[in-house]
Structure 1
Amino acid sequence: MQEAMLLSIGRFICTVPWFVVCCVPFYPQRRVSRSVMGFVITTVSILFFLSNFFLRLYGDNYIYQSSIVYLILYAVIFGLFLWGFRVAPVKILYIFLLVQAVSTAINYTAAIFLRPFYPGERISLQNNLYYSLVILLITAALAPAVWYFFTHQLREAMAELHNRDFWLLCIPPILIFIVTMIFNDLGNNTAVPQEQAISIFLLITAAGLVTYFINVRLVLNAARRIRLETSVAAMEQQMEVQAQSYLQLTQSIETSRALRHDLRHHLTVMTAFVEQNNINGLAVYLAEYRQNLPPENELQVCGNHIVDVLVRHYLQQAKEAGAEVDVKLDLPADTGIKDTDLTIVFGNLFENAVHSVVRQTSGRRFIFARCGIENNKLILTVDNSTEGKVYDRKGIRQASGIGQNSVKAVADKYHGTVRFSQEGGIYRASVLLFCVLISE
């Protein structure tokens, strides 16, 4: 009875607090309330405690049966995380492996700390209550640092990094886990001194934790660099939009000033025709005047000013190159998407389209585009003529540079998709974004 109680308490201390810690990086993506999360964790913890107690008390082959309990526990917790959070399974796997390594390091450290007090004895959860208490004290001492790392670096990593990045990040934890399992068998070998086995365990887990931290920092720095490059590109495009707006405004002012100056002369001539009662001459003069009026300004493309100025700027270049333009953008002023992100998407797609038609040396040149918002989804398609192969064998746009990556980054930000394809001499680009109200 005593061994069963000590073991159940020890495993409860070694395992249950980490249920809560694993929730921290995914908290912004939770599907359920905190009360539901608390109820689930409490229920699973009680069942885990009771399972260890009764298996140790009545089980014939406790070591084998406890391994089954752990496998069931991990499977249940993994399924509950998939149910409770909107995250990919690979991210949950990475956090579980990281927490397992931290917990193992704490257990080994506690064993080394107690070794001088119990020379020649094997320290385990089922025969030493102090072992569980030391583990609890070390866990409590490290809790602030672990909590800070999980709420800042890891939570940022969950938001910034792609799922494919975590498949790579999981490789070192999996290898370290396999190694610890191999050396765990060595630790159970009575021919090997326990001090030596514990030291090996601690060194392996310490190396693993350092590797985890360095890998996360490296990948996060790469993601931040890409985000910074994207922001710089967006700022440059916005500056171009503002320059175009200023140029259009200046041209409008100059045109209005010239029209006012000329209008006085036209009024003088028309007044003379009226005074002479020369209606025929006035009609002829008005007809000539109407023919000499400057053309009307180009109609706006859409209701969003940023997109309107930017798209008209690139379409003017396409028209000057002799391209046929058919663009219909049903885009309001308030789309629920930041203007900087709209600038990245529309700027890069239309810039690529213009570059394609300008580089053409023969054949029909055209740009067709459609955009609309329906059911909180912004859908943009841009088709343009092209000459030569735009994609390589892997389906990646040749010489796309940061532009294509920037569009993909915006699509990921709004949980959308991007697709590029080429069919003969037609290059097609499509973007889907989920519109949400975002506070600046």
Structure 2
Amino acid sequence: MTSFRMFEIILYSMVSLLPYLGLALYPFEDKFRMSKIKLSGCIVILTVIQSALGIYATMCSQEQKALFSLLSTVCYGGFYFLAIKENVGKLVFVLLIVSNFANFVVMCAKCVEGHIFPQLAVENNKWSFSLCTMIVQLIFIPLLFLYFKKYIKGMAHIDTGKKIWRFLWTIPATFYLFWYHGLYFSTKSSIELAMDPVNMIFTFFINLGALVVYTVIVNYMAEFQYNLNLEEEKKQLEIENLCFENMKKQMESTRRARHDLKHHMKAVHTMAENNECKKITEYIETYLEHVSLKKPLVYCTNFTLNALIVYYVQQAEAHKIKLKLNIELPEETNVKEADLTVLFGNLLENAIDACDEVQENKRYINLKIYKPNSDSIVFYIENGFNGSIKKKNQQFLTTKANGNGIGIESVKYVVHKYNGDVNIKTDENKFIVSGVLLQPLDATK
């Protein structure tokens, strides 16, 4: 093999790998498992491996060439899945979109080569094909990049759950099968098919139709995310309204207590003048029980969470539930106040609803919240329940007649938003939800 032939193969390996790999990595640039410097080093190594496989393939039989092609695909896919920390179905979805586009570029480049360099077009991986490939890439890759920037990158950051991606990847896979069937199940050779302009036009419209389908999917996901955010905001407003009403009641109670205080002082003063110490003690104890001054109004230094806890403490008392709290959260956190409200509001509301379904002597809630370090918040809540669980598609549903079971899903959404994890355990008489919020977002965002 001549040096020029090796150059042709290396050039083809770079042209057929680097642009598409860049496109596939772009939507997940903030989810790499390694630094960008290490990632660049791995890409260089991958390019060398691909070039070596291409060189060896040119010196082997047709069957061995197929094996080297398979090895090349495994290396490419393996690197992609190892480099990005994301749901596998979502990665396959993006990878197949790029793969379908790459197939279109190959067909266009071969068609152009066949008309400009007809003698070279019958051979594989010639410099003329690499040149035509780069020309086609210069035309279409900027357009696809803009599409990725507008749609695919946003889709990559929408949290729709893992289950949906078990099926969505089959959509670009179907378009891939169209191309595969037309290429390998035709009476013509792949070169003959590629050099036919009609096939190139047909492939173009197939890819254009695929982009329309992907756009519909992305818009649906964006709408789903929007509706979920509205549901969360509605829930937050409901909880904040309840806290506000509770605060108004507390203020009214305080106002009445201050108004009545002078009358109580007169009564105590009269008893003191008559040296009725025992009556004074009994009177003060009765007064303290009446105004509930023994109850703490501050459970943590975080104002938003404290207002929420005060409300649910009163709800627990009204439902005759024993409530044990251990909250060590600073006044300022990098978790948005709205997310704190949704997270712990749903947890406490679900716990109270569950306790309503059991006997009074089995009603209890234990809540613990603390920061083990500056980058995480850990929570644990345990409550009594009757052992009855409703599930649909691996999601917990409420046992309330008019509920939709969005509470636990809202908890999961907030936890996953902060790159955390949530765990749910149950047995016959207790329900436990524990979790951690990692790498908190900037609260100003």
TM-score where L is the length of structure 1: 0.81
Q: 1:416 and 2:420 equivalent?
A: yes
1:198 to 1:404, Cα distance in 2 relative to 1, 3 A: farther
Distance 1:117 1:81 in 2: 35
Number of residue pairs matched by the alignment: 429
Distance 1:364 1:290 in 2: 27
- The one-letter code matched in structure 1 to 2:44 is T
**1:207-231 residue CA offsets vs partner (Å, 9 max, x unmatched):** 25633x3454444344433433333
Q: CA deviation at 1:143?
A: 2.6
Which residue of the other structure, out of 138, 141, 150, is the alignment partner of 1:140? Answer: 138
Which residue of the other structure, out of 420, 431, 434, is the alignment partner of 1:431? Answer: 434
Distance 2:266 2:321 in 1: 43
Distance 2:6 2:420 in 1: 52
**1:252-307 residue CA offsets vs partner (Å, 9 max, x unmatched):** 44444444444445556666788xxx451477456535533422163234333323
Bigger shift: residues 101-110 or 303-312:
303-312
Aligned to 1:343: 341
1:229 to 1:165, Cα distance in 2 relative to 1, 3 A: same
Which residue of the other structure, out of 300, 307, 310, is the alignment partner of 2:308? Answer: 310
- The one-letter code matched in structure 2 to 1:19 is L
Distance 2:366 2:270 in 1: 51
| Contact 1:157–1:216 (CA under 8 A) maintained in structure 2 | no
Aligned to 1:180: 179
Distance 1:309 1:140 in 2: 58
1:264 to 1:200, Cα distance in 2 relative to 1, 3 A: same
Q: CA deviation at 1:432?
A: 0.8
Q: CA deviation at 1:136?
A: 0.7
Aligned to 1:19: 21
- The one-letter code matched in structure 1 to 2:440 is L
Bigger shift: residues 286-295 or 410-419:
286-295
Bigger shift: residues 369-378 or 260-269:
260-269
Q: CA deviation at 1:405?
A: 2.1
1:39-118 correspondence to structure 2 within 5 Å: 39-53=41-55, 55-56=57-58, 59-61=59-61, 63-117=62-116
Aligned to 2:167: 168
| Contact 1:111–1:123 (CA under 8 A) maintained in structure 2 | yes
Aligned to 2:286: 291
Bigger shift: residues 11-20 or 184-193:
184-193
- The one-letter code matched in structure 2 to 1:44 is L
Distance 1:307 1:438 in 2: 17
**1:125-183 residue CA offsets vs partner (Å, 9 max, x unmatched):** 64864443222112112232222333442222222244433331221333333443333
Aligned to 1:402: 406
Aligned to 2:401: none
- The one-letter code matched in structure 1 to 2:168 is L
1:342 to 1:227, Cα distance in 2 relative to 1, 3 A: farther
1:141-290 correspondence to structure 2 within 5 Å: 141-161=139-159, 162-186=161-185, 189=188, 194=193, 199-200=198-199, 203-204=202-203, 206-208=205-207, 210-211=209-210, 213-265=211-263, 278=273, 280-281=275-276, 284-285=279-280, 287-290=282-285
TM-score where L is the length of structure 2: 0.80
Q: CA deviation at 1:383?
A: 1.4
Aligned to 2:380: 380
1:128 to 1:70, Cα distance in 2 relative to 1, 3 A: closer
User: Which stretches in structure 2 are left out of the alignment for 5+ residues?
Assistant: 399-403
1:31 to 1:192, Cα distance in 2 relative to 1, 3 A: closer
| Contact 1:173–1:208 (CA under 8 A) maintained in structure 2 | no
- The one-letter code matched in structure 2 to 1:352 is N
Distance 2:312 2:266 in 1: 42
User: Which stretches in structure 1 are left out of the alignment for 5+ residues?
Assistant: none
| Contact 1:411–1:432 (CA under 8 A) maintained in structure 2 | yes
Q: Please give the secondary structure, in 2, of the residue aligned with 1:280.
A: coil
| Contact 1:331–1:371 (CA under 8 A) maintained in structure 2 | no
Q: CA deviation at 1:409?
A: 1.4
Identity across matched positions, percent: 16
**1:399-424 residue CA offsets vs partner (Å, 9 max, x unmatched):** 44332322221232233333445533
**1:174-194 residue CA offsets vs partner (Å, 9 max, x unmatched):** 333344333323467359964
- The one-letter code matched in structure 2 to 1:20 is G
Distance 1:47 1:192 in 2: 26
Distance 1:317 1:273 in 2: 37
